[in-house]
Structure 1
């Protein structure tokens, strides 16, 4: 066999170097990716649904995660029951900026609405002419969890330490953004606060942290294989319900028509009760006035009779 020429040897070495730099890898912090490759010691993958390259050493933005989840549900790998439906306010196919953040205006066909930095709708739904002038920042996220029934309460200090350590280590959030962990059996409340002025370019966003955390608690982890085991003092904790609340830097713009029927019914009942109370008060005062006038008239007549 003839020895390799200098040019062929150089090409072979370049190919080997390129292959070494872009070897396959696993994105441990996001399983909703394809085309993973290691580049200079960092695992990069293409997010499903958008094709945006994501750095697997950090959390993927919520916008890209939602887009990937919707794309996976549309793949047709499994048929859904005919009566199944989606919570369209919870999961939709979002429009993302090139850096992964939500676009301020989101649409589903001809129906549009404005969202905050967490991708949560903050206005009523309108037609395509809707203007969303800015992407309003979510500065406060409240995660409320209700654990399953148990005889004794959990150790408060152990609980606080577990969740603070988990959020800082697993989701890489700076501890200063965890402002409170409150335990009121059976509810656990975690407050995450991050103003626009506080967040630096290297900090993960609290909206992304909350999304990862909620998925972990509900057993639908975004991590490839590292599932979250919630254990307080060596006792595994299970949850009945998890709710996430959002507080924006600018108040949301909802009209009365966007309120739920239950809330509207409560408001109507309260208004009717107030009106009824006013009517009763007015009638009572009128009757009392008539009684006083009649009593005065009778006394005058008796006085005139005595003087006659």
Structure 2
């Protein structure tokens, strides 16, 4: 059974919780145990316990983000110890890229990171797919040791010494996160801005790759933009995207195939969905009913891809 150590910034605790949930099958199969600093018992020497667990772990997961790189303890202490053990062949270090940051300049930048191609988890359209990719890579990295036969069961006798050792505990200690109206509004603002930049960049790249294609991106105001794609000068598809806030029937971020439409006329909408650990975007379902596909719990990139697929679909028939 391989021991796993989580090195992470507390600002990324919700993502660590999600990853630990996805590791459940490895634990059920008896392949891993996991440890992080939230398992420290009251009264324990904080630095001493972390040092002990880090120096005995077989796999060290570096949960990388800008906050991780900015943390003196994570970067200057845990990363240095982890890399020393990795280079000595005493442990395997696996960088897991949570959010975009300049991680390739770090000491672990030469290591193969997860998810695939080092694409940050926050940039995946479906976060569950990102974590599944990570879990598969962790499984592949586990020490290849033959499974020992289980010994014959014996009556358990609890000694006085055992009563003083650390008790077994569940790794499922996460609590539901609460999100304020300010959090939800900020998330919606950031999602709309990302979608606008995503469309602008995608239109530019589409025009570069296809000589017969012309594109137009127009920012109408702070809360709306329009896009159009022409083939041989003839308009083939167009849309407008509006941010209408979180309240009312036209709340969220709306998509209309009419590039001159107002926010109250649309073909699809993305609304803020509150999960146990994170905020996400959920399609209203108008397009899903037509396509037979049910999408939900999208990141900002997932929402952008969802709207972009609606725009470009007429050119891909």
Q: When the two structures are superposed, what TM-score results if normalisation uses the length of structure 1?
A: 0.23
Which structure exhibits the higher relative contact order, with contacts defined as CA atoms closer than 8 Å and separated by 6 or more residues?
Answer: 1
Choose between structure 1 and 2: higher helix proportion.
2
Instruction: Report which of the two structures shows the higher radius of gyration computed on alpha carbons.
Output: 1
